[in-house]
Chain A
Amino acid sequence: MMHRSEAERNPSTVDELLADTRFQDWVLRGSAAPDAYWTAWLDRHPGGKDMLARAREVLLSIRFAEHRPHPLRKAAARESYLAGLAVAMEKERRARVVRLFRRAAAAAAVLLLVSTGWYAWRNLRAEEYATAYGEIRRLTLPDHTEVVLQANSRLRVAGKWQYGGDRKVQLDGEALFKVPPIAQHGNPAQPFTVSAGNAFITVLGTTFNVRHRRQALEVVLIDGKVRVDAGEKSRVLMPGEKVRYVKEQHVMTVVQADTAAVAAWTKGQLVLHRTTAEEVLHYLEDNYGYTVRQADSSLLKKELEGEFVQGKPEDILFLLSQLLDADITVDGKNLDLKKR
């Protein structure tokens, strides 16, 4: 909504020139030569040349003092802005949880009505649990095995466990399993097995993390005992060991793993220990559906250290940009990383 008086459309005095936005813009552009508009204006205003010069002189005589922040103060201000942002994010996260809780409470009332029938029906069919990008789900299987299912993962559970069938689950993605000891449960003829790709993990009461991503299987044993069978390879794991199997290469390697770091994701945390930026980006791709479109290869190889208590993707991206000293541009689900 522009307001223009008659005089502004056709200025004919120094005062009117000074107030004319077109005149101001012309002077601010810095060229002394009149443009087409002001050439035409001069034709209409004989003797206007001096007027134009005069008005121009007034405008150009205006200067302003420049104040620049001290670099140290500026850096400190930036820190407190970032801290303020982190607090705002945390508040939003909490608000979201409260909203979800309210929705859940409302849903619970409805659920109660149908749950009895559903419970009976569930036990007879195979269950499939799938998580969306960014979603982590906790499940308790009929044998009291606790499962934390990572984002973008799928777990298929064969039905009829309590009727004597094998305890078999099929995993695509990543999950942490806490299987109660068989002795406690009763039936040694019912081993718990996880199949992931063409590999099997056979369990004898234990806690372990399985990651089946990018054609590679990684199993980390946290406690207890498991056997991993893949192709012709087989290996019994000791607590704290990580086995990695890459299908195409038919190679199985065992290394020591930091079990707390491996399971950190189940608590919404991200622990980086000699983790390359590339691994963090894979994590974002696998669990949140991002795609890395562009990244300097020198950035990808950089090893990162640190514990991050909030595993939200935007926080991880932010942290990553700070640790790498890189600009990360997010375009929808595409990421571009550039060195600063």
Chain B
Amino acid sequence: MEEHINWEGVIAGDVPSHTALYNLYFDRLFNYGRKLTADESLIEDTIQETFVRLWADRQKLPPAAAWNGYIFRMFRNALFRHFRDAERHRLSPDELEARLPEFNADHILLARESDAAMQARLRKAIGALSARQREAIFLRFYENLSYDEIAAVMDISVKASYKLMARALNEMREAMGVSLVALLFLLRPC
């Protein structure tokens, strides 16, 4: 996807290159933002701000290979900042922190092939995951971000991003495995 972008053009302040970058990311960031909040205006404003800042700071951008994670990170940070700015006058500081954008469990769907009992168990497991775990799963399995990128976006260490993901997947596996406990025991050679 990124090969269509003239990265040097973006750094040099070439407007068409910058606009192409915006076009490439708008739908992706909208989709991602929509998982964190239902406020579409907030998402749109945040994308705009992200790209205007990207323009203003274009000379300070990391190497091209790191841009994908960088853009997601800028967007995510700006989304939280915008949310706080918008709600500051309405909510107390505690309420504000409690209602920060987070990844809703409803946005994770389940394959229709799996049987109803399995679906119910998985749904429960997904509900039991933390919002951060769900977000990490989304970034990894929908956006195909690397662990390094996920760590940058979610502002955690790479090691923590591995842990977050491993725990989430194991919890889902457990939910799926309840009826297959015997099989799972057999499957574990050690």
Q: In the bound complex, do residue B141 and residue A58 qualify as a contact, i.e. CB atoms below 8 Å apart?
A: no
Q: In the bound complex, do residue B122 and residue A61 qualify as a contact, i.e. CB atoms below 8 Å apart?
A: yes
Name B's A-contacting residues (CB within 8 A): 6, 9, 12-20, 22, 26-27, 30-31, 34-35, 40, 44, 47-49, 51-52, 55-56, 106-111, 114, 122, 137-138, 140-142, 144, 146-148, 158-159, 162, 165-166, 169-170, 172-173, 176-177, 183-184, 186-190
Q: In the bound complex, do residue A88 and residue B52 qualify as a contact, i.e. CB atoms below 8 Å apart?
A: yes
A232 at the interface (CB under 8 A from B): no
Selected contact of A50 from candidates B9, B173, B177, B183, CB within 8 Å: B183
Q: Can you list 22 A-B contacts with CB-CB less than 8 angstroms, sorted by A residue number?
A: A3-B147, A13-B190, A14-B188, A28-B141, A47-B186, A57-B176, A62-B172, A64-B108, A64-B142, A65-B107, A67-B30, A73-B44, A80-B48, A81-B47, A85-B51, A317-B15, A318-B16, A321-B15, A321-B16, A329-B6, A330-B12, A331-B6
Interface of B is mostly: helix
C-alpha gap A331/B9 in the complex (Å): 7
Selected contact of B176 from candidates A8, A50, A61, CB within 8 Å: A61
Q: Chain A residues near B14 (CB, 8 Å)?
A: 314, 330
Q: Chain B residues near A193 (CB, 8 Å)?
A: none
Q: In the bound complex, do residue A63 and residue B26 qualify as a contact, i.e. CB atoms below 8 Å apart?
A: no
Task: With a 10 A CB-CB cut-off, give which of A28, A45, A66 has the most chain B CB atoms.
Answer: A66
Q: Chain A residues near B49 (CB, 8 Å)?
A: 84
Minimum CB–CB distance for B106 against chain A, Å: 7
Q: In the bound complex, do residue A1 and residue B158 qualify as a contact, i.e. CB atoms below 8 Å apart?
A: yes
Q: Chain B residues near A2 (CB, 8 Å)?
A: 147-148, 158
Q: In the bound complex, do residue B141 and residue A59 qualify as a contact, i.e. CB atoms below 8 Å apart?
A: yes
Selected contact of B187 from candidates A24, A54, A77, CB within 8 Å: A54
Selected contact of B35 from candidates A13, A18, A64, A80, CB within 8 Å: A64
Taken residue by residue from 134 to 162, chain A's Cβ proximity to chain B (1 for < 8 Å, 0 otherwise) reads as 00000000000000000000000000000
Q: Chain A residues near B26 (CB, 8 Å)?
A: 69, 74, 77-78
Q: In the bound complex, do residue A28 and residue B144 qualify as a contact, i.e. CB atoms below 8 Å apart?
A: yes
Q: Which residue of B lies closest to A64 (CB)?
A: B142
Identify 15 new A-B residue pairs, CB closer than 8 A, beyond the known A85-B15, A314-B13.
A13-B188, A14-B173, A19-B166, A19-B169, A54-B187, A58-B173, A61-B114, A68-B31, A69-B27, A81-B48, A84-B52, A318-B16, A318-B19, A330-B12, A330-B16
Q: In the bound complex, do residue A12 and residue B189 qualify as a contact, i.e. CB atoms below 8 Å apart?
A: yes
Q: Chain A residues near B35 (CB, 8 Å)?
A: 64-65, 67
Q: In the bound complex, do residue B162 and residue A58 qualify as a contact, i.e. CB atoms below 8 Å apart?
A: no
Q: In the bound complex, do residue B52 and residue A85 qualify as a contact, i.e. CB atoms below 8 Å apart?
A: yes
Q: Chain A residues near B110 (CB, 8 Å)?
A: 61-63
Q: Which residue of A lies closest to B176 (CB)?
A: A58
A60 at the interface (CB under 8 A from B): yes
Minimum CB–CB distance for B44 against chain A, Å: 4
